[in-house]
Amino acid sequence: MSVFPFKPIVDPLLEVNDSSAESAFEITDFFASYMDYAGVGVSEPPAIFHRWACCSLIGALLGRQANLPFGHSSIFPNQYLMFMGAPGSRKSTAINIGKKLLSAAGYSRYAADKVSKERFLMDMQQYDKNSLMDAAELEMLTLDEPAEVYVVAEEFTDFVGNNNMEFITMLTKLWDCPKEYINPKIHGASVAVSEPTVNIIGGNTVQGFALAFPAEALGNGFLSRLIFVHGETTGRKVTFPAIPDKQLEARLVEHLKKIKSSIKGEFELCSTGKSICDRLYKEYIDLDDVRFKHYGSRRFTHLLKLSMILAAADLSMVIEERHLYRANTMLAYAEKQMPKALGEFGKSKYNEVANQVLDHLNKATKPISITALWKVVARDLTKIQELGDIIKNLIGADKIQQLSIAGVQGFLPKHTAKAEWDEDLLVEEWLTDEERM
């Protein structure tokens, strides 16, 4: 039984038994049909992976042919997505379903599985991957046509390498789709790449991510350009996955071709779009995790990119209210899991102890002294002065407070209301129950 059945539209002039009637069935909700095709709810990957993979393939398909004017520049619908989860969470399965459909629609601008920085630039122009051109010859080139590439990396660390900050810095600059990218010279003339456009969908574990990025990379702009999509292992075990519906697959491919042929030029906002965007921009609350302090500065750009993709899926050059609300909903639920996606990456050595202190205080009914707290964390610290520093930091972060109740002095948590989105800015019913968990 279909989880998200597509709605057929049939020309009433066609006879029921006319063979051409089959071609009259059209996708009316691309995302619902895609989720149905992917087997959401019955296959092993979590639903959130499938929905974001669907976004990624549309962004890659559009490349640079559509944009949203934004001040003195333009925003393009390219995205950098990182699927995070434990081994066995079926990140690769979700990624490959989207790639299969995209390829069937005629797309072929994929990056190699593992490339050097120089080779990556060559792949943007789709040079023969078997070419023997070396770096010196590459630097003689000027790539003067729009350059696009889609990085589909089931194991992103294998693609980018360990601590390859030079490559990562280049990808950081390319996210903004500049008019031109100049690759600094090594032997000869620098390489000039015209209108580079990069989309990334990668998979990783916390351990693998730590190999690709040193903790110092938290200050690098690349991480704020990533949307971390965390998925838990569903627990579903499917011995023999279902064969995909070939008719639905054909319709999805046909719809992708329509997106490619019809979504060109400049998107525009609906009449109420600017006022909605104003609220979404100003009412966003930064994530309560210092590792994402730079993400908030680009959150609105992520929202606009996603809104363009959702409009394109509806074959519309107008970003309607529903596209903005749906984009905000997708981001809001992904953002809830972003701290979990990174695990302990980039945290201070005292972070786990601070969590132990908070957990202990949250269970307390009266103030807890520093001596009592020391008994809880003594095995994880070398001296009580370290605990004193942790407590000072927690007080400074407004997480705990020092007070005296009935003659008992000590510490208790400081509960503050967590700001949430107003209900009218979310369309939670658009997501599956699994995505809202």
Look at residues 326, 345, 364 and tell me which one is the last residue of a structural domain.
345
pLDDT digits (tens, 9 = 90+) for 374-394: 999 999 899 999 999 999 988
Q: Are residues 262 and 247 part of one domain? A: yes
Residue 46 confidence (pLDDT) = 96
- Residue 1, in any domain of the structure: no
What is the extent of the structural domain holding 388? Answer: 352-413
- Residue 3, in any domain of the structure: no
Residue 126 confidence (pLDDT) = 57
Q: Are residues 356 and 241 part of one domain? A: no
Q: Are residues 407 and 283 part of one domain? A: no
Q: Are residues 204 and 171 part of one domain? A: yes
Residue 189 confidence (pLDDT) = 57
- Residue 431, in any domain of the structure: no
Number of domains, the chain: 2
Query: What residues are paired with 80 via a beta bridge?
Result: 200, 226
Mean pLDDT score of the chain: 86
**Helix or strand (DSSP H, E) at 326:** helix 321-342
pLDDT digits (tens, 9 = 90+) for 309-339: 999 999 999 999 999 999 999 999 999 999 8
Q: Are residues 376 and 267 part of one domain? A: no
Tell how far CA 145 is from the center of its chain.
Answer: 28
Q: Are residues 365 and 217 part of one domain? A: no
- Residue 437, in any domain of the structure: no
- Residue 165, in any domain of the structure: yes
Read off the pLDDT band of 417 (50, 70, 90). Answer: low
- Residue 433, in any domain of the structure: no
Alpha-carbon span 99 to 220, nearest angstrom: 29
Q: Are residues 256 and 173 part of one domain? A: yes
Helices (H), ranges, 19-90: 30-38, 47-62
Tell me, what CATH number does 379's domain have?
Answer: 1.10.10.10
**Helix or strand (DSSP H, E) at 266:** strand 265-266
pLDDT above 70 as % of the chain: 86
Q: Are residues 135 and 276 part of one domain? A: yes
Q: Are residues 389 and 295 part of one domain? A: no
Look at residues 345, 363, 380 and tell me which one is the last residue of a structural domain.
345
Structure tokens at 166: 């030079």
Q: Are residues 384 and 270 part of one domain? A: no
Alpha-carbon span 153 to 95, nearest angstrom: 9
Q: Which of 47, 387, 97 is CA-nearest to residue 231? A: 47
- Listed as own residue / partner, the contacts of 369-375 with beta carbons closer than 8 Å and 24 or more positions apart are 369/409, 369/410, 369/411, 370/410, 370/411, 372/410, 373/411
Structure tokens at 434: 């699994």
Tell me, what CATH number does 164's domain have?
Answer: 3.40.50.300
Q: Which of 136, 204, 165 is CA-nearest to residue 342? A: 204
pLDDT digits (tens, 9 = 90+) for 231-250: 999 999 999 999 999 999 99
Residue 146 confidence (pLDDT) = 66
Torsion of CA 271, 277, 279, 280, to 10 degrees: 140
26 has pLDDT over 90: no
151 has pLDDT over 80: yes
Alpha-carbon span 232 to 95, nearest angstrom: 15
Q: What is the SS3 assignment for 319?
A: strand
- Residue 408, in any domain of the structure: yes
Q: Are residues 270 and 172 part of one domain? A: yes
Alpha-carbon span 304 to 69, nearest angstrom: 11
- Residue 12, in any domain of the structure: no
Alpha-carbon span 262 to 315, nearest angstrom: 7
Q: Are residues 338 and 370 part of one domain? A: no
Among 237-246, 359-368, 413-422, the range scoring the smallest mean pLDDT is 413-422
pLDDT digits (tens, 9 = 90+) for 48-74: 999 999 999 999 999 999 999 999 999
